[in-house]
Amino acid sequence: MNTLIYAYGNPGRMDDGLGSELVNALEKWVLENHKENIEFDCNYQLNIEDAYEISTKDLVIFVDASKEDIQDFVLTKVDENSKMSFTSHEASPGYIYYLSKKLFDRSPETFLLHIKGYKWDFKQGLSNGAKHNLHKTIAYMKIILTEPEKILKLKHNIIQN
């Protein structure tokens, strides 16, 4: 199963860098454990060009920091019913999924991993609460990357930890 973990956010805005920190940790773990067919990407925002990249995968997990009222992290399914938005400065995971389906006739299993953040100041480094949530999310993602079929059995708002 070809898997893509794609984080977006601004590491220069404290907890908005949660996604890139997750990618860094998991990328290292994948190399150390000789996991195959798992790719990573990180950017400040999603772009319409990302639709092609996800169209080449079987499983896609977008990762973003969340200001929402959640606990540590939440994993939600992205599909044709997901919220879609596009501006010149932002594209939502739902919109990227939609483009993949419409332009490339591919709709990979796609999810959005929301990690709870607390501070958004213009400086680098995660808050203590975000670090705690990151460690819990890393542990969960190691299970998913070891047994990706587990995630495929899940439905809409799947995991809240």
Average pLDDT value for residue range 21-27: 98
Report whether pLDDT(159) > 60: no
Long-range CB pairs of 88-92 (<8 Å, 24+ gap) are: 89/45, 90/45, 90/46, 91/45, 91/46, 91/47, 91/48, 91/50, 92/46
Could you give the CA distance from residue 15 to residue 64 in angstroms, rounded to a whole number? Answer: 10
> Per-residue confidence at 153, pLDDT binned at 50, 70, 90?
confident
pTM over 0.85: yes
Structural domains in the chain, CATH included, are 3-160 (3.40.50.1450)
pLDDT of 71-119, one tens digit each?
999 999 998 778 777 765 678 999 999 999 999 999 999 999 999 999 9
Dihedral (Cα; 12, 93, 6, 15), 10-degree rounding: 30
The answer to whether 157 touches 74, Cβ cutoff 8 Å, is yes
Task: For 77, list phi and psi in degrees, rounded to 5.
Answer: -80, 140
